[in-house]
């Protein structure tokens, strides 16, 4: 029988390697990025494009004018998509993503944000600046704290501005030198319908869209429950009339459990009903 492991000595701990999720976890822990098949059909992925465009147009109307979004560097981002479009809840709870998250972060985690992203060829993209998805943080952790999962609604290519990463930078607190970034940055071509998953502390940036077509994606930041959501998802769902899922695991993931209790009675009632 063939030995499934490379020969080694002095090695008493290894990553699990039972399936493709385990392989993705190894890439994510060491390099800071991986890709993951979503399992969604081509028709479903195509339908997400219209939903993203509808939500962005609605949010522009809500704020009054796109110039207001441009003034705060928030143009071409549709925030909290799942509170506007039911299909985006399916995206946020895709079975492969949930399984990878469970193995990466553990059994308790929460959706911190879900944002639709529109990368246009005729407009400057604020996301083209290097950043971590846990912004302004300069520290490292022996265990992962959060991850981001970018579903590529359109194919990511070098021409249309596919994401650049700096592999391994989730292990180092400061941003590296400019020369280092230029030497080691890696642009990741990803097919439509796949997730690009990053440790939320790895430095990355969007590329410049030099094609003649819009490139769309939806990003999720998922973290440990002590992290605050960008937008109160339960409240946003209620305000927009979105259907609230019955599955207690999904409700917990959306922060129905972890949101601060209004008072002592509510805190206790939650635990009695759990």
Q: Which residues of 61-78 are buried (b: 16+ CB within 10 A; e: fewer)?
A: eeeeebeebeeeeebbbb
How many other CB atoms are there within 10 angstroms of residue 140's CB atom?
Answer: 12
How many other CB atoms are there within 10 angstroms of residue 123's CB atom?
Answer: 13
Residue 55, CB half-sphere, CA atoms under 13 Å: how many?
27
Q: Looking at the predicted structure, is the pLDDT value of residue 13 above 60?
A: yes
Query: Which residue in 162, 90, 174 sits closest to 119, CA to CA?
Result: 162
Within 8 A by CB and 6+ apart from 48, the residues are 87, 88, 91, 151, 153, 216, 218
Cα 198 from Cα 201, distance rounded (Å): 8
pLDDT band at 123 (very low <50, low <70, confident <90, very high): confident
Cα 115 from Cα 123, distance rounded (Å): 18
Cα 91 from Cα 93, distance rounded (Å): 5
Least confidently predicted of 56-70, 115-129, 166-180, 260-274 = 260-274
User: What residues form DSSP beta bridges with 152?
Assistant: 217
Cα 131 from Cα 17, distance rounded (Å): 31
Cα 51 from Cα 55, distance rounded (Å): 6
Region for residue 39 given its phi and psi (left: phi exceeds 0; alpha: psi -120 to 50; beta: otherwise): left
> Which residue segments constitute the domains of the chain, with CATH numbers given?
20-273 (2.60.120.620)
Q: Looking at the predicted structure, is the pLDDT value of residue 182 above 60?
A: yes
The pTM score is 0.92
pLDDT band at 74 (very low <50, low <70, confident <90, very high): confident
Two tokens, residue 150: 């970018």
Cα 91 from Cα 220, distance rounded (Å): 9
Q: Looking at the predicted structure, is the pLDDT value of residue 1 above 60?
A: no
Helix, strand, coil percentages in the chain from 3-state DSSP, rounded to 5: 35, 20, 45
How many other CB atoms are there within 10 angstroms of residue 229's CB atom?
Answer: 21
Maximum mean pLDDT: which of 33-47, 111-125, 249-263: 33-47
Q: Looking at the predicted structure, is the pLDDT value of residue 212 above 80?
A: yes
Residues 129/225, Cβ–Cβ less than 8 Å: no
Of residues 220 and 74, the one with the higher pLDDT is 220
Cα 7 from Cα 4, distance rounded (Å): 9
In order of 7, 40, 78, 88, the CA distances from 116 in angstroms are 45, 17, 5, 9
């Amino acid at each position: 029988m063939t030995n499934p492991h490379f020969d080694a000595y002095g090695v008493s701990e290894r990553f699990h390697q039972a399936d493709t999720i385990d392989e993705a976890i190894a890439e994510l822990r060491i390099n800071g990025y991986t890709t993951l098949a979503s399992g969604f059909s081509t028709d479903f992925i195509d339908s997400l494009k219209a939903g993203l465009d509808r939500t962005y147009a609605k949010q522009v109307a809500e704020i009054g004018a796109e110039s207001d979004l441009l003034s705060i560097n928030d143009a071409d981002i549709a925030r909290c998509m799942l509170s506007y479009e039911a299909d985006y809840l399916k995206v946020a709870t895709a079975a492969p993503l949930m399984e990878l998250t469970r193995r990466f972060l553990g059994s308790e985690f929460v959706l911190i944000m879900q944002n639709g992203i529109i990368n246009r060829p005729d407009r400057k993209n604020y996301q083209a600046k290097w950043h971590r998805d846990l912004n302004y943080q300069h520290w490292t952790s022996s265990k992962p704290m959060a991850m981001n999962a970018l579903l590529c609604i359109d194919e990511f290519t070098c021409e249309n501005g596919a994401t650049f990463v700096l592999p391994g930078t989730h292990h180092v607190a400061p941003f590296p030198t400019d020369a280092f970034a230029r030497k080691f940055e890696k642009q990741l071509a990803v097919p439509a319908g796949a997730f690009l998953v990053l440790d939320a502390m790895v430095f990355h940036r969007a590329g410049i869209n030099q094609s003649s077509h819009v490139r769309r994606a939806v990003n999720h930041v998922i973290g440990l429950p002590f992290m605050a959501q960008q937008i109160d998802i339960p409240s946003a769902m209620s305000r927009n009339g979105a259907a609230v899922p019955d599955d207690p695991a999904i409700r917990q993931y959306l922060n129905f459990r972890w949101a601060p209790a209004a008072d002592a009675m509510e805190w206790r009632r939650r635990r009695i009903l759990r």
